Structure 1
Amino acid sequence: MSEPPGVTLAPEAPSRTDRASDRRTAQRVLPLRRPGRWILTAAVLVLVAQFVHGLVTNPFYQWDRWSYWFLRPTILDGLVITLEVTACSAVLGLLGGILLALARLSGSPVLRAVSWTYVWALRSIPLIVVLLFLYNFSALYQRLSIGVPFGPAFFSFDESKLATDMAVAVIGLSLNEAAYAAEVVRGGILSVDQGQHEAAAALGLPRSYQFRRIVFPQALRSIVPNYVNQLIGLVKSTSLVFYVSLLDLFGSAQSMGSTYPGDIVPLLLVVTVWYLILTSVVSVVQFYVERHYARGATRSLPPTPLGRLRAGLTDLRARVRREAAV
């Protein structure tokens, strides 16, 4: 209803209900107290403090000898071999996994059967058995030849001359890694929406082009983070190559431990710290790879550790200002 000219209506007085609502809004919202969480946190902190205190003060660990061995040339040479074996096995294992996954998804029943049998066998046999079998492979086949099956051989070679310790370690780890990588790749390819396959086929594109330019790039979003996670297991698996006479990081420490029996514990701690460093680096790479391939799949990218730290400091400053204002 319009007001008469020259007349101003007085503001309506707030009702009792509105005043009560305003008072409730002005009241400070107190967080729910959780005494059980604080008690559990205090107990965990006490246990952690006791563990760290024992780790630092226990003379059995011989930290002075640990610092002596940590950067010794023998240990660093073994570390280099570990990195070389890991890098070669990771690349070859991924390539083998891609081939096995494509064979598993192919229309050929023979390829599907061979791929499934390979994955089943290599995932069932312990890695140490595979390495020892390859190490003694020359006892079963002194010479290998390539030619017509059940016919003449085109050329042959002495297997023992090619099967060096490094070659045995890389081949064994690659064969084992390919079986697991095949399932990672196959799962990534199957994660691509079926409509993408149908759209590519409707355009009349060759199947190889469909895979290289449409299917596989989308599958990498699932393949790469999972395979980077698989690399952590591969880094630790390299410790088994010591049993095929390759002095990697663990093998070098084991060899020095047999020479200096009193330093076995410090040498084991040296190996432990180096493996922690290597797996931590791989974990950092995994985080950023997953963050990279999450673009377009999530509304917002997961914050980086530095971003979490900044957000935590900002929240802390805001909380301090609120406490000071009260």
Structure 2
Amino acid sequence: MNTLTSGTMPMSSSTDASPGIGAFVPVDVSAARHRTSPLRWGLTLLLTVAALQIVYFLFTNPRFEWNVVGKYLFSANILTGLGVTLMLTVVAMVIGIVIGTIVAVALLSDFGPGRWAAQTYLWAFRGTPLLIQLIFWYNLAYLIPDISVGLPFLPPLAQWPTNAVITPFLAALLGLGLAEGAYMTEIVRAGLTSVDPRQHDAAKALGMTPTKAFFRIIFPQAMRFIIPPTGNQVIGMAKATALVSVIAMNDLLHSVQIIYNRTYEIVPLLMVAVFWYLVVITLMYGCQSRLERYYSRGHRRDATQVPLASEQV
């Protein structure tokens, strides 16, 4: 007869072990799926019907004249205008990012005149429409007939006619770049202020100068917050370049307008412009996603790396 000594517990074999009351039973939920409700099915059906209706409308309406679209889609004038649009987008965004970074640093600095100058710049360029700014730069010769270089209140060392310097391309860059710099200022400022202030103290403790700390510590961490809205600004800039057609800049829209003013095929030529804008913006979306993933390394948690509840006990 087996007896139990005081203070001991009976041992059970592993074959007849069963979870007791309150014991944790691991449940694998990796294959769990959300239960589809009738409302979701109804919305899916509605969206499918709407998509089919749009496709049917696009390909059965003869007024789109898809043969004309195909004729001009890769014409030399259209591709030249597309190249000008891309160049304006890239150069104006570079100007805007550089100006925005400098002005954002000035806003966050303790240098009073620098902050006042930055605030005045934001007030002027964010408070006026972009179209007005483009027309203003294009007609700058009315206010300043000649552009001179020299010391104030002394005869100029060099002088050029303003109309020879401010070409339509330069006027477009000034209008787009300076306006974009005002918006990029707020984006960069928000990104810089999102960095933990203790990072500044850590950089100072390591003996870094403020400039070195900014470029090695602060700015790389702020990029995670700057990239998404900057990507949206790049996409908006690609579409905003259509405004330069009012100053006779030969961008994509202006190239289309020149052709349909001659042929009166307005809708198919506009569809050519729509096609190329969609291609460019789709590529920009892809680049933005890659940059976001790159600068979010170490801040995203992959669901496949999260341990199961059974592995945590």
Question: How does the TM-score come out when normalised to structure 2?
Answer: 0.84
Counterpart code for 2:292: E
Shift of residue 203, structure 1, vs aligned partner: 3.1
**Deviating 4+ runs (over 6 angstroms):** 9-12
Residue of structure 1 equivalent to 2:7: none
Structure of greater relative contact order (alpha carbons < 8 Å, 6+ residues apart): 2
State whether residues 295 and 301 of structure 1, in contact with CA within 8 Å, keep that contact through their aligned partners in structure 2. Answer: no
Q: In 2 relative to 1, CA 33–271 (structure 1 residues): closer, same or farther, beyond 3 Å? A: closer
Shift of residue 226, structure 1, vs aligned partner: 2.3
Residue of structure 1 equivalent to 2:92: 89
Residue of structure 1 equivalent to 2:123: 120
Q: Equivalences for 1:178-217 in 2 at 5 Å? A: 178-217=181-220
State whether residues 291 and 301 of structure 1, in contact with CA within 8 Å, keep that contact through their aligned partners in structure 2. Answer: no
Shift of residue 156, structure 1, vs aligned partner: 2.8
Residue of structure 1 equivalent to 2:285: 283
Residue of structure 2 equivalent to 1:274: 276
Residue of structure 2 equivalent to 1:264: 266
Match of 2:45 among 28, 33, 42: 42
Q: Equivalences for 1:1-326 in 2 at 5 Å? A: 32=35, 34-261=37-264, 263-300=265-302
Shift of residue 202, structure 1, vs aligned partner: 2.7
Shift of residue 194, structure 1, vs aligned partner: 0.1
State whether residues 93 and 181 of structure 1, in contact with CA within 8 Å, keep that contact through their aligned partners in structure 2. Answer: yes
Q: In 2 relative to 1, CA 68–2 (structure 1 residues): closer, same or farther, beyond 3 Å? A: farther
Q: Distance in 1 between matches of 2:148 and 2:199?
A: 45
Shift of residue 32, structure 1, vs aligned partner: 4.3
Q: In 2 relative to 1, CA 203–153 (structure 1 residues): closer, same or farther, beyond 3 Å? A: same
Q: In 2 relative to 1, CA 34–244 (structure 1 residues): closer, same or farther, beyond 3 Å? A: same
Gaps of at least 5 residues in structure 2 are 5-11, 22-31, 305-313
* Identity across the alignment (%): 37
- SS at 1:299's partner residue? coil
Counterpart code for 1:211: F
Structure with a larger share of its residues in helix: 1
Q: In 2 relative to 1, CA 2–63 (structure 1 residues): closer, same or farther, beyond 3 Å? A: farther
State whether residues 85 and 238 of structure 1, in contact with CA within 8 Å, keep that contact through their aligned partners in structure 2. Answer: yes
| Deviation readout 1:89-120 (Å, 9 max, x if unpaired) | 11111111111111111211111011112112
Shift of residue 150, structure 1, vs aligned partner: 3.6
Equivalenced residue count is: 285
Q: In 2 relative to 1, CA 33–282 (structure 1 residues): closer, same or farther, beyond 3 Å? A: closer
- SS at 1:171's partner residue? helix
- SS at 1:153's partner residue? coil
Q: In 2 relative to 1, CA 150–47 (structure 1 residues): closer, same or farther, beyond 3 Å? A: same
Gaps of at least 5 residues in structure 1 are 19-28, 303-326
Q: In 2 relative to 1, CA 253–47 (structure 1 residues): closer, same or farther, beyond 3 Å? A: same
